[in-house]
Structure 1
């Protein structure tokens, strides 16, 4: 056996384990048990940490492969027999590309933009905010990690598909008709001279009326929001219409995050929208601690140290901006 072959075996196994961890930690829903196990895995050697970092970087050159994988995504999956013949080199490389393409379409822990985000008409990176003038009296303010597409008819914008993230929509007096925002399977009609804030996280959509009248349509039902009213929809139902705290809802426009008694787990989840990498809580007691705080977005690079000082958390930093708090 050549020396290169002897090294390739464990190296390949290590990278397969790293791919497993990326997939296992997908969608930002890692449990505290997952976080502890991941920390132990990374702590075995510097090679483990480097394998994870290299696996994360694979996505950058896999755009075409990801597109092909996406086209086959709806095809039937044929169950394979329990015993399989030895995998050929070509089959192995094909499987590796497919697995890596899956990471592009469904990025674990939202560490990078998904394929649908990358091909959107407009998108913002982590921590980025952007204003988009659409003409026709329509202005869109985009928050961090937001992607949207425009619906046009004969060159005129008639609607917005919010793929994910958060926007403020403003239709000035110059708007000739209400603007429709499509998000999470519902439609939000923003009236002329009206403003609203729309946040789309996975299957849940939260809408806050800021000025004027906003009408929501979802699952055969309709709800009207007026100024300083808020509701959400998803999973086939509307939430209750409640008074909205506009200062907290719109704090992101001033590049501020406000927390008033939320558990640290919820605070960390929100901070992860704005901070490159990922904070992972690996302590249930720590996750339940209530937080009263106001953070400038410019402070978030130091937020792990702030949590350490405030709650005595142990901080473990890993490649790619991943930080485990325990």
Structure 2
């Protein structure tokens, strides 16, 4: 039996060998768990740094409509006529994109930065109330209260204080100008306010409140100046009033189109 016992001992591991193997397996398992935990931490860190949007919400207003929304952080956004705002839920920041139109923001203080983007322009809030308008002329940023930082893809950061405004776009950021905050926010009270505004620019504002086109029939009329405050709910009355306050005449089409000509 001795030879068979010796052969069996050679084939079956000893108690010490089994204990050593168990310890080795436990160490390998702990190493795998540690590596997995490290990988999860690195992944979580990468996600935190990238700050991806895990949910988006699109908010729109129709032509002639205004809307007010309260954001999850307590901030408030007021949308002007024909506007589209995209609200993004992110880990490290509060980000919104003004796809088109105009919006006013009253920002609640929080640890996460509040950022509004449009046409490659970024507006970073520093505790403030401000408006952003996005159209074919670029992005118009106006500060009603507090401070914001405005930057573009290839432009340095510009800081704006209360009562300041800039227009920004692909070409860069224009000159900072002074504005009347009450005039900038008149639309939030259902008003259009003009103060010696060129008619060409006023027509752009008027157009936003009606579906059918309104345009100048003669380029020279664009330099005429329009002043006064008017109700946005009575845009047609404003258009009808133009010949009484400017040397122009109107031609209305059956489809609602309005063409403005000069008086000869």
Show the counterpart of 2:104. 168
Question: Does the C-alpha gap of structure 1 residues 285 and 222 become closer, same or farther in structure 2, counting only changes over 3 Å?
Answer: closer
* Contiguous gaps of at least 5 residues in structure 1: 1-119
Larger radius of gyration: 2
Deviation at 1:319, TM superposition (A): 3.8
Indicate yes or no: 2:229 matched with 1:310. no
Q: Aligned residue for 1:196?
A: 130
1:220 Cα offset (Å): 4.0
Query: Which of residues 132, 149, 167 in structure 1 aligns to 2:86?
Result: 149
TM-score, reference length from structure 1: 0.58
Instruction: Report if aligned partners of 1:146, 1:165 keep a CA contact under 8 Å in 2.
Output: yes
- Residue in structure 2 matched with residue 274 of structure 1 by the alignment: 209
Cα distance, 1:284 vs structure 2: 3.6
Please point out which of 132, 145, 159 is paired with 2:95.
159
C-alpha distance in 2 between matches for 1:309 and 1:160: 42
How far is 1:272 from its partner?
0.7
Q: Deviations over 1:229-250 (max 9, x none)?
A: 1112113311122222212111
- How many residues are paired up? 205
Which residue in 2 is equivalent to 1:301? 236
CA RMSD across the alignment: 2.2
Cα distance in 1, alignment partners of residues 245 and 202 from structure 2: 14
How far 1:169 moved relative to its partner?
1.2
Q: Is the 8 A contact 1:151 1:157 kept in 2?
A: no
- Whole-angstrom CA distance in 2 between matches of 1:308 and 1:179: 45
Report which of the two has the higher share of helix.
1
Provide the TM-score with structure 2 as the length reference.
0.71
Going from structure 1 to structure 2, the CA distance change for 1:203 and 1:312 (only over 3 Å counts) comes to: closer
C-alpha separation in 1, matches of 2:158 and 2:93:
24
**Match in the other structure for 1:263:** 198
> Which 4+ runs in 1 deviate beyond 6 A?
none
User: Highest relative contact order (Cα 8 Å, sep 6+), 1 or 2?
Assistant: 1
Relative to structure 1, is the Cα distance of residues 311 and 224 closer, same or farther in structure 2, using a 3 angstrom cutoff? closer
Deviation at 1:157, TM superposition (A): 7.1
Alignment check: 8 A CA contact 1:286 1:311 kept: no
Q: How far apart are residue 312 of structure 1 and its match?
A: 5.3
- CA–CA distance in 1 between the matches of 2:150 and 2:219? 37
Determine if contact 1:184/1:203 at 8 Å carries over to the other structure.
Answer: no
